Amino acid sequence: MRKSAFIPVLILIAMTWTACNQGSGKGSGGDASIEFDTISHNFGAVEFDGDAEVEFVFINTGKAPLLVSHVKSTCGCTVPTWSKEPVNPGKKGRIIVSFDTHRIGAFNKSIYVYSNASNGVQRLSISGKVNRRELDQES
């Protein structure tokens, strides 16, 4: 009776292993891979209500189309936007990050890029300091 229970378990293990390997993307001729020109940007001093937007450029260095599924920031004051279209091997894509400059003081924020890239989740960062608004003084 023990031998008869062993065979279905062995078949189940083999099916699970096969299913996991098929989902890895290797069957499509290779993996997507994401490589950024730069992963951090320092705005320096920014005026209150000023422009604080940066474009992070990346290239798909893999052999399969790259799809950025979502991009998350660590704060609601940091808003990323990106193309939802696949990036073919050797082609470039962009992620634009805007920071809300209505908060005075230094900032250091992280942005996480989730995709089907074989090199995993990528972390981008922005930093700088928002200066106080100077009031016009009449003499």
Residue 66 maps to a domain: yes
User: What are phi and psi for residue 85, nearest 5 degrees?
Assistant: -80, 145
pLDDT number for residue 135: 65
pLDDT value at residue 67: 97
d(CA 72, CA 75) in angstroms, rounded, equals 9
- Dihedral class, residue 21 (left if φ above 0, else alpha if ψ from -120 to 50, else beta): alpha
The whole-number pLDDT of residue 133 equals: 81
Residue 9 in any domain: the answer is no
- Asked, for residue 81, whether it belongs to a domain, the answer is yes
Residue 60 maps to a domain: yes
Query: Is the model's pTM score more than 0.85?
Result: no
Contacts for 11 with CB less than 8 Å, ≥ 6 apart: none
Classify residue 15: in a domain, yes or no: no
Within-domain flag for 136 = no
Number of domains in the chain: 1
Look at the block and give the residue holding tokens 């073919």: 88
Where residue 116 sits, what CATH number does that domain have?
2.60.40.10
Residue 76's pLDDT is what? 92
Residue ranges making up the domain that contains 89: 28-130
The reported pLDDT for the residue numbered 25 is 41
- Residue ranges of the chain with per-residue pLDDT less than 50: 17-29, 137, 139
